[in-house]
Structure 1
Amino acid sequence: MAHLLGAEGLHLEFPTRIVFDSITLGIEEGDRIGIVGRNGDGKSSLLAMLAGRLEPDAGRVTRRGGTTIGVLDQADVLDDALTVGQAIVGGAAEHEWAGDAKVRDVIDGLVRDLDWDASVADLSGGQRRRVALAQLLAGDWDIVALDEPTNHLDVEAITWLAAHLRRRWPANQGALMVVTHDRWFLDEVCTETWEVHDRIVEPFEGGYAAYILQRVERDRMAAASEAKRQNVARKELAWLRRGAPARTSKPKFRIDAANELIADVPEIRDRIALQSLAVARLGKEVVDLIDAGVTFPATGSRPDREVLRDVEWRIAPGERTGILGVNGAGKSTLLGLVAGTVAPTAGRVKHGKTVQVRTLTQRLDELQEVWDEPVRVVIGRLRTSYTLGTGSKAADLTPGQLLERLGFSSAQLSTPVKDLSGGQQRRLQLLLVLLDQPNVLILDEPTNDMDTDMLAAIEDLLDSWPGTLLVVSHDRYFLERVTDQQFAILGGRLRHLPGGVDEYLRLREREDATAKGIAGSGSVLPAAAGSGSGSGSGEPALAGAERRTAEKELAALERRMQKLAQQIDAAKRSLADHDQADYAGLGERMKKIAAQETEVEELELRWFELTEQLG
């Protein structure tokens, strides 16, 4: 493979610390590099030096003659004076850019819902991010350098971006460098991972899953100094190895080595113990949404807008659910119904008597009243202990110990809240919510400003949290990691997703294909080349007798799943009436419920296969 870029003896120093100390790296044709590390360790600085945006204090960066680099900054640098079209294609005539399949693909994938003549100044943060990405990706570059490209993007846009980067160059051509905390994205796109830590850059082969495996091996050999990070990484590796097969197909390491490393790691969550504890804390009823709907009244020339309709959702004790939907679909409205901050305009919402709902919002609401106080003072007013874990593994931690688990040093305890980094403020916000001991926890985009290690630590903390958990997040890895099921808001209705995020993406693809068919050729922006509906497998849907047989089986599966769901719901509610001191009896009941849930999962997999075959 041909050499594109090299860095030799790079040294970078800020007034208070040394960031890099004599690092040497190289980038070849075909490299797809993910850059990970703790916040503040220098990931963005490394990318800026390699891209020529930042001069090192010592050492040099060299490029092969004629090599071009396109950079997506983490900061918003779009010119507010431009329109969307001008920002993306400049002054090029329509016949010039419309004839380029790559440009059409970028436009269709990122900005098809935007007005081509809209002013950049009038766009939201998420829309501006997509325009900036489209502006970069519409160009021809030998190396593409992306700094947090998934910020402000939804699941669909992130999925499109990963697919685009995989097919952007032929094999062994071009190069990619990406700084991101999105672990799913790293695994989908990258073939090499650079970890930035302790003034060095350490390379690992493969994407995120492979990196975790190698890091566990490194940490095990390094022993004591990396013990804490090792434990969290090993738990995450266990989830990766026991999860979907796609997560384990990329690492080029012996599977038996990974299995040996996780042999003594228990299941990520003790679902039976957590559910039993949740029932004890919540009783039989949590929140029931019965034929609930929300319509916002007309304002000015804008007519009534129906956001949600006919929502039937009976939330169970200990349920861990992820909510998906495009921006504006009604996710926040749905969470508002659950939290009691939004009143339904149709149907009703019933809250259990013992339910205590807390929401980790995208804003820093919990911190505003303590903004000028040191962290030590803030946590000093809180409860003295927090119980983590269940049964024999339960442990009482002080708020200070919890902060340590969330990455705070003792020196940072004296720092005023307003002077903490964004990630630290987010972690302190989560701690304040948890110490309030709610039994229903709502997380609204909780991964903002978090590095991969902190995300793993928070996931570890949530694994032992005994309550009902509802999560809205564009971070697909986090969503799949901390929840057991997913729902989507599609067309104002709440729909269960037996096939998880993949099923959601297929449903959205079909929605888009239907919308395009209705719109016809009147769209302002050209459609992407080769776009269409379906799973993309190229296989025809079933027909004739086979189709009728499949439809009958599908109907039978749906009846069986509905019946099981009712039985599980009734069994969970009856647990509240059982003697909570009868651990053996509770355990038997929970085992029966777990067996029914396993049967539902198996039926859902078959249901998903049939829906794919039926098209």
Structure 2
Amino acid sequence: MNYLSAENLKKSYGDRTLFQNLTFGISRGDKIAIVGANGSGKTTLLSILAGAMPPDAGLVSQRKDITVGYLDQQPDLNDALTVMEVVLAGESPQLDAVRAYEHAILHDDHAALERAMSDMEKHEAWDYESQMRQILGELGIQDVEQRVGSLSGGQRKRVALARVLIQNPDLLILDEPTNHLDLEAIEYLESFLTTNNGTLLMVSHDRYFLDRVCNQIAEMDNGQLYTYKGNYAYFLEKKEEREAAAASELAKDRNTFRRELEWMRRQPKARGTKAQYRIDAFDELKEKTSGKRNDGDLDLNLRMARLGSKILEVENLSKRFGDKVLLDHFTYTFKRPDRVGLIGKNGMGKTTLMNMLTGQLRPDSGKITTGGTVKFGYYTQTELDLPENQRVIDVVQDVAEVMKLANGDTITATQLLSRFLFDRAKQYDFVAKLSGGEKRRLQLLLVLVQNPNFLILDEPTNDLDIMTLNVLEDFLLNFPGCVLIVTHDRYFMDRLVEHVFVMEGEGKVRDFPGNYTDYRDWRDAQPKKTAQNDKSVATTSKNQTPAPVVSSAPTNGSSNGTKRKLSFKEIKEYETLEKEIESLEQHKSNVVSLLNTGGSHEQLMAWAREIEQIDQTVAEKSERWLELAEHM
């Protein structure tokens, strides 16, 4: 069943054509990701398909009996509304019932509450409300009564994502949905989209996410859309085959072009004396060979300032904001060439720690000693404040007109920009004309041209295309200085870091030997902590590591690759949970029946709160039951 189709689409900005004669279709059950270089037109295409932007030419047709949910890169939310009001702003019978229920409770309206409870039962909205609160919580949205105007850009994106997911549309269109999510929220979204039976179209550069969620990849390349049936790993294989075939065809075309060019030069100048069909074929071949482009290589082989033996020592570092403790006596000594990943939920203090290390924020107590040769390169989440009316080449030349490479050679700003995939025309574009990813790439260049020897990268993968990410990874793997990385891109972190700082809350930081996947597998294998165990976890230093130390063994629960078996105690827990969940569901049904019979205002409010508590308990027990069921 076809959900959406686009025929002969064209879109241009000024004299630059992003794509033309582009045809594309989405069928029920498709989970399609659009990938491609920054500035290739992915976001523009998504906006056109979602109906948020008209094409210059062509037609987009959507099946009339389906619902579509669209997440923009920069969601337009009403600042005057609360988070809950924004999330409930969609259209569905369930949302209408939940809206009425929330309004009745907020305004203490007894009559409205009775009607709302009846509608909640009629439309089976009790579970819907529970699911809504679960989605908000999983995306890190706890305070649903705060005004949208007080939220950061990342929080606004998460609220917009929650609103789209809660509506459960037939077709989801998501533009960079993992940006501004922490790692746990990304894994929740990954699970949600994988198990959801809906249809999905998205733009994303998260390679693990693409591999696990999508069943089709569509690549934007030079104004064309190439579609591959399969996940991201399959796409890479087939793309290599396509490019090899294209290179072979290009070589043949160029040989033919050289022969035809000689023929054109030998023939009389009067066009009437030449075979017109051969002239037309020559013109077509000329356009075909000149239209092919070589993407080139993003070469980041820049010189690094010398780094001495003393680098950075952190001793008993503490920081709090109000009652919230972000760091509590954190101690660590950086050595060359440390490559550390910094992970933790949003709001745990990752950016705060980086700002303290670079001297932009003072700690409450503790000491930071920086070696005399250390030169920080700090790439932040916040885009540099570049004048929109300044040309790209001028921005770089303001920092340095000539840079040194690692081998001692020099390179001009123009040559360096070319290596960062800014062609000659793009170098003389105004900053205002750059895409979001191109601006981030320019920001990365401006950090690296200052020859740092200690790189601190705060979400460097946001908005960067996959080609740029691959070469940035290669550069960082060979970077002889220190690197501290915060990123939600699990593939990027897994490839680069040797150990991770895990910000666990209440100021605790765990230094874990291994990459993110190693840590996650170790964490998931740990028994549930008791309150007493939690108290025993202390802030770690360089010499403190969790036990057991993770190894390179298979990550499915045992060293020989076989499925972990449940203990006798866990089997009994599994059986007990089934009975408890069934009993809770029955109890909830009884309470709902009481609600429908009516009662005093106090009774109705008490029953409503009880239903909410039952839903929460069932969700917790169901999560544990599913965890155990995987090993049955």
TM-score scaled to structure 2, two decimals? 0.66
Displacement of 1:318: 1.5
1:321–1:470 contact (8 Å) kept in structure 2: yes
Displacement of 1:499: 5.3
Cα distance in 2 for residues equivalent to 1:499 and 1:462? 17
Residue of structure 2 equivalent to 1:238: none
2:153 is the counterpart of 1:125: yes
1:104–1:527 contact (8 Å) kept in structure 2: no
Cα distance in 1 for residues equivalent to 2:47 and 2:10? 13
Cα distance in 2 for residues equivalent to 1:319 and 1:464? 12
2:497–2:514 contact (8 Å) kept in structure 1: no
Residue of structure 2 equivalent to 1:212: 236
Q: Which has the larger radius of gyration?
A: 2
Aligned pairs for 1:45-194 (under 5 A) are 45-64=44-63, 66-90=65-89, 91-93=96-98, 94=101, 96=120, 97-100=125-128, 102-110=131-139, 113-169=141-197, 174-194=198-218
Classify 1:387/1:443 alpha carbon distance in 2 versus 1 (closer, same or farther; 3 Å). Answer: same
Classify 1:493/1:386 alpha carbon distance in 2 versus 1 (closer, same or farther; 3 Å). Answer: farther
Q: Residue deviations 1:166-189, cap 9 Å, x none?
A: 1111xxxx3110112223322221
Displacement of 1:216: 2.2
Q: Residue deviations 1:9-35, cap 9 Å, x none?
A: 333445433333222222222211001
Q: Residue deviations 1:247-287, cap 9 Å, x none?
A: xxxxxxxxxxxxxxxxxxxxx99xxxx9xx99x93232211
Q: Counterpart amino acid of 2:47? A: A
Q: Counterpart amino acid of 1:18? A: T
Residue of structure 2 equivalent to 1:25: 24
2:334 is the counterpart of 1:306: no
| SS of equivalent to 1:385 | strand
Residue of structure 1 equivalent to 2:313: 288
Cα distance in 2 for residues equivalent to 1:379 and 1:176? 39
Displacement of 1:316: 1.3
Residue of structure 2 equivalent to 1:450: 464
Aligned pairs for 1:417-428 (under 5 A) are 417=431, 420-428=434-442
Cα distance in 2 for residues equivalent to 1:371 and 1:340? 29
Classify 1:513/1:535 alpha carbon distance in 2 versus 1 (closer, same or farther; 3 Å). Answer: farther
RMSD: 3.9
Residue of structure 1 equivalent to 2:560: none
Cα distance in 1 for residues equivalent to 2:70 and 2:628? 34
Q: How many residues align?
A: 479
2:316 is the counterpart of 1:317: no
Residue of structure 1 equivalent to 2:488: 474
Displacement of 1:164: 0.4
Residue of structure 1 equivalent to 2:402: 384
Displacement of 1:160: 1.0
| SS of equivalent to 1:6 | strand
Q: Which structure 1 residue ranges, 5 or more long, are not aligned? A: 236-267, 297-301, 542-615
Cα distance in 2 for residues equivalent to 1:417 and 1:9? 30
1:116–1:525 contact (8 Å) kept in structure 2: no
Displacement of 1:156: 1.8
2:7–2:23 contact (8 Å) kept in structure 1: yes
2:190–2:213 contact (8 Å) kept in structure 1: yes
- Percentage identity across paired residues of the two chains: 37
Classify 1:522/1:98 alpha carbon distance in 2 versus 1 (closer, same or farther; 3 Å). Answer: closer
Classify 1:505/1:535 alpha carbon distance in 2 versus 1 (closer, same or farther; 3 Å). Answer: farther
Cα distance in 2 for residues equivalent to 1:15 and 1:415? 12
Q: Residue deviations 1:365-419, cap 9 Å, x none?
A: 5x65x77654434444626333247xxxx97644433221211111233345565
| SS of equivalent to 1:8 | strand
| SS of equivalent to 1:335 | helix
1:289–1:349 contact (8 Å) kept in structure 2: yes
Cα distance in 1 for residues equivalent to 2:307 and 2:163? 50
Cα distance in 1 for residues equivalent to 2:353 and 2:34? 36
TM-score scaled to structure 1, two decimals? 0.68
| SS of equivalent to 2:136 | helix
2:342–2:502 contact (8 Å) kept in structure 1: yes
Classify 1:51/1:362 alpha carbon distance in 2 versus 1 (closer, same or farther; 3 Å). Answer: closer
Classify 1:139/1:333 alpha carbon distance in 2 versus 1 (closer, same or farther; 3 Å). Answer: closer
Q: Counterpart amino acid of 2:219? A: E
Cα distance in 1 for residues equivalent to 2:515 and 2:243? 33
2:211–2:231 contact (8 Å) kept in structure 1: yes
Cα distance in 1 for residues equivalent to 2:525 and 2:72? 29
Cα distance in 2 for residues equivalent to 1:3 and 1:209? 26
Cα distance in 2 for residues equivalent to 1:477 and 1:449? 15
1:98–1:104 contact (8 Å) kept in structure 2: no
